[in-house]
């Protein structure tokens, strides 16, 4: 992927986004440009990233639809992944992404209000069908829906097990299934590592791939999706090292498979299961006190 790309300096938009040579921004999306609250939030986030000196390398913009609905499936390594994943669509005519997030987030003070105001999609894991219905409706009405198939941040910074929700939503709707891989956002803010929210000049690569074939069972589509996202992620990691490395061995934000000291996928899965059990015990304790 990276070998065929021109290494000359790319066109820079607003000193924040770096895109491939020859890219031309599309005209603003007729409906989504009128979502003034969400658009103002995007403008605010741009100012924050500019203050931090963040540089986002955005690849594969030609794979994003300028019109119509789609599912964008994203790997999950950091808390800002939803922001980075929404950058590409916003460059293609100020398109907006409605992200799927667990319903509990929508009840958190301030954050919940923001999520509701930007009309993101709450996910009730106890009633998954309703969440799928909401996402399908958004897509069939011409919107983009973002989803993290892993369901949680991967502490290994590698792809963990995928749930089939992205495939099911894409198959039930009239939208495309677009894979997206992000690399570098875990250096800014992720689980178990110190936050780096100052002017750190941390680079991030965001890459979008061609639509995934949706034929077959949801499990078959999910397997193709994971393979596509794995290829994008591997290419992004290689390009990141070439552009910004070399990096010292043992970096905590680097996967063990690349010489870092992040947990292995097996270790990360055990940590996730322990967290899940602890949350369940806490819920039981609260119910017992009620």
Average pLDDT, the chain: 90
pLDDT digits (tens, 9 = 90+) for 170-228: 999 989 999 999 999 999 999 999 999 889 999 999 999 999 999 999 999 999 999 99
Domain segments of the chain: what residues? 11-262
The torsion region of residue 56 among left (phi > 0), alpha (psi -120 to 50) and beta comes to beta
Q: pTM for this structure?
A: 0.90
pLDDT at 22 over 60: yes
What top-level class would CATH report for the domain 11-262? alpha beta
Proportion of the chain above pLDDT 70, given as a percent: 92
User: Nearest CA to 137 among 149, 151, 119, 152?
Assistant: 119
Query: What are the phi and psi torsion angles at 20 (to 5°)?
Result: -70, 150
CA 258 – CA 260 distance, rounded (Å)? 6
The pLDDT value recorded for residue 8 is: 37
DSSP alpha helix (H) spans, the chain: 36-52, 81-85, 87-91, 111-117, 128-140, 165-172, 218-244, 265-289
The pLDDT value recorded for residue 11 is: 45
Region 139-145: what's the mean pLDDT? 96
């Amino acid at each position: 992927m990276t070998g065929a790309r021109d290494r000359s300096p790319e066109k820079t938009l607003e000193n924040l986004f770096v895109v491939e040579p020859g890219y031309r921004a599309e005209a603003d999306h007729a409906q989504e440009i009128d979502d003034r609250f969400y658009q103002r939030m995007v403008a605010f986030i741009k100012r924050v990233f500019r203050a931090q000196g963040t540089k986002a390398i955005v690849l594969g913009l030609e794979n994003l639809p300028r019109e119509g609905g789609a599912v964008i499936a994203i790997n999950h390594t950091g808390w800002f992944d939803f922001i980075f994943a929404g950058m590409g669509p916003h460059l293609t005519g100020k398109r907006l992404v409605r992200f799927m997030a667990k319903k509990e987030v929508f009840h958190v003070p301030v954050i919940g209000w923001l999520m509701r105001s930007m009309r993101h999609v709450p996910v009730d894991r106890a009633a998954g069908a309703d969440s799928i219905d909401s996402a399908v409706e958004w897509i069939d009405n011409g919107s983009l829906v973002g989803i993290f198939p892993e369901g949680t941040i991967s502490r290994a910074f590698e792809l963990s097990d995928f749930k089939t929700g992205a495939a099911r939503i894409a198959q039930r709707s009239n939208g495309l299934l677009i894979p997206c891989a992000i690399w570098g956002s875990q250096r800014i803010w992720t689980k178990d590592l110190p936050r780096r929210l100052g002017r750190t000049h941390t680079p991030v690569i965001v890459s979008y791939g061609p639509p995934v074939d949706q034929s077959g069972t949801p499990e078959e589509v999910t397997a193709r999706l994971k393979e596509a996202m794995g290829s994008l992620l591997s290419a992004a990691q290689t390009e990141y090292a070439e552009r910004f490395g070399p990096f010292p061995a043992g970096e905590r934000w680097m996967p063990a498979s690349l010489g870092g000291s992040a947990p292995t996928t097996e270790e990360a899965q055990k940590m996730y299961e322990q967290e899940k059990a602890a949350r369940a015990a806490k819920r039981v304790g609260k119910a017992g006190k009620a």
